[in-house]
Amino acid sequence: MKKMISGFQFKLIALVSVFSLVLFITSRTGNMEEFAQKILNGGSTEIDPTAATAETLAEPQQEAMKKQFQGYWTFSGEEMPSVHLNDYIELLENGIMWQYEQRVFALPYGDKDTLTRISTSYLLPFEQPDSTTVSAMCYLRVIRQNWQIDGSYCYGLSQKILEDLYSAKAQTSDIVVNKNVIRENDTTLRYDSREYSKYTGELTAFFPDPKAIASVDDPTTYGCEGDDPHLTWIRYRLIESIKTQQLESNVIPMEQKLNIENFYIPYCLNRLNVYYGKNEGEVITMTLKISPTGSITSVKLKGKPVDSPSIKSILTEEILQWMVHGTGSNSEVTISTRVKSCQ
């Protein structure tokens, strides 16, 4: 699952925004491409007042807020049904953040597998929604990120490439990803709706795998397969898990539906949350035609989230890559689901 890259592509490694508590598709992004570069060069990080709201924090307030958030923070718990997340965050007082995310996925028929993502990011507070708490809405820009897949490391597309990709596919513009950060007390940080505890052990033992952290700056790292390495990997693992499980013919129709509802929709379809926008929570009804061997051969989608032809095309392209158990003859399944974000 690796591919070689050109020298030009390698220069484009950087700045990917991922999952969000709040995802706005709006006209006010500000010049976020400059923020990470400025902080790395020791320059000013004050944001353009024309790109922000009236409650925007001034630069001295931003710097004070970043110092409030600094520290070593850990989370361990369910990210969603069937996915356990172990997350380790080191926040520096200048807003630089190192993060080690380890997700353990439950797969069909009792299997489990682990996907690890390592990143260094820049967190910029821009608005304080509640002046009575140490809290801020923050822009998050990932400077570099790697995934550990099958024992080796790879990196994904750059932030600029992804934003252009989303814009071209969804026919929209200016995707802004915000994170809500709250310092609740000396031992608790709330980040992206999750409650993190302050780490008090030996700092040298904080990150589970120091080699993984070092891989972020390793110039020999390959580019990952696909626009979204997480999505490419979990889809592949679901297919492999299903293919290796032999079933009695009488249970296959039920298993087709269960595997789509319990695994493909939450792990894969909901991964495409950036395209849903204000339609998140609306119902999509999908009718899938399945070949005798289990390949998806035809997809019909209905519902408000797929009124846009471009979004319908994106979701159809994803679903056509799924595979379930085949019945030995052509079959069909219809499923309704509410689209929602995957953390």
When pLDDT is cut at 50, 70 and 90, the band that residue 17 belongs to is very low
Q: 309-319 vs 159-170: helix axis angle to the nearest 10?
A: 110
Collect contacts of 282-285 with beta carbons under 8 A, ≥24 apart.
Answer: 282/338, 282/339, 283/336, 283/337, 283/338, 283/339, 284/315, 284/336, 284/337, 284/338, 284/339, 285/334, 285/335, 285/336
pLDDT tens digits along 104-124: 999 999 999 999 999 888 888
- Structural domains of the chain in order of their starting residue, each with its CATH number: 2-224 (no CATH), 246-338 (3.30.1150)
Element (H, E) at 254: helix 252-259
Residue 305, pLDDT score = 82
Query: At residue 227, what are phi and psi to the nearest 5 degrees?
Result: -65, -35
Per-residue pLDDT, 13: 32
Q: Residue 57: which pLDDT band, with cuts at 50, 70 and 90? A: confident
Residue 227 pLDDT class (50, 70, 90 cuts): confident
DSSP 8-state code for residue 56: B
Q: Is the pTM higher than 0.85?
A: no
Confidence (pLDDT) at 276: 58
pLDDT, position 157? 62
Model confidence at 277, in pLDDT bands (50, 70, 90)? low
Q: Average pLDDT in the 82-90 region?
A: 96
Q: How far apart are CA 212 and CA 145, in angstroms?
A: 10
Cα separation values, 19 from 41, 55, 103, 184, 237, Å: 26, 24, 14, 22, 21
Mean pLDDT of 44-66: 63
Give the angle subtended at the CA of 16 by the CAs of 12 and 21, to the nearest 5°.
170
Closest CA to 192 of 122, 145, 269, 138: 138
Among 25-29, 120-124, 160-164, 224-228, the range scoring the smallest mean pLDDT is 25-29
Q: State the residue for tokens 């597309």.
A: 157
Percentage of residues in the chain with pLDDT exceeding 70?
Answer: 75
pLDDT of 341 reads 61
Q: What's the whole-number mean pLDDT along residues 6-28?
A: 30
**Cα–Cα distance between 343 and 341 in angstroms, integer?**
6
Instruction: Order across the sheet with 296-302: list the strands.
Output: 296-302, 283-290, 331-338
What's the whole-number average pLDDT of the chain?
A: 78
Higher per-residue confidence, 342 vs 44: 342
More confidently predicted of 145 and 74: 74
Most confident of 13-17, 32-36, 205-209: 205-209
Total number of residues shown for the chain: 343
The DSSP annotation for 295-327 comes to: BEEEEEEESGGG-SHHHHHHHHHHHTT-B----
Q: What is the pLDDT of residue 258?
A: 96
pLDDT, greater one: 217 or 115: 115
Q: Does residue 334 or residue 55 have the better pLDDT? A: 334
pLDDT over 70 (residue 233) = yes
Summarised one tens digit per residue, pLDDT across range 136-179 is: 888 888 788 899 988 889 887 655 555 555 444 443 333 345 67
295, 275 Cβ separation under 8 angstroms? no
Buried/exposed 71-93: b ≥16 CB within 10 Å, e otherwise: bbbbbeeebbeebbbbbbbbbbe
* pLDDT confidence band for 319 (50 / 70 / 90): very high
Q: Which range among 90-99, 130-139, 154-163, 295-304 shows the weakest confidence by mean pLDDT?
A: 154-163
Q: Residue 269: pLDDT above 60?
A: yes
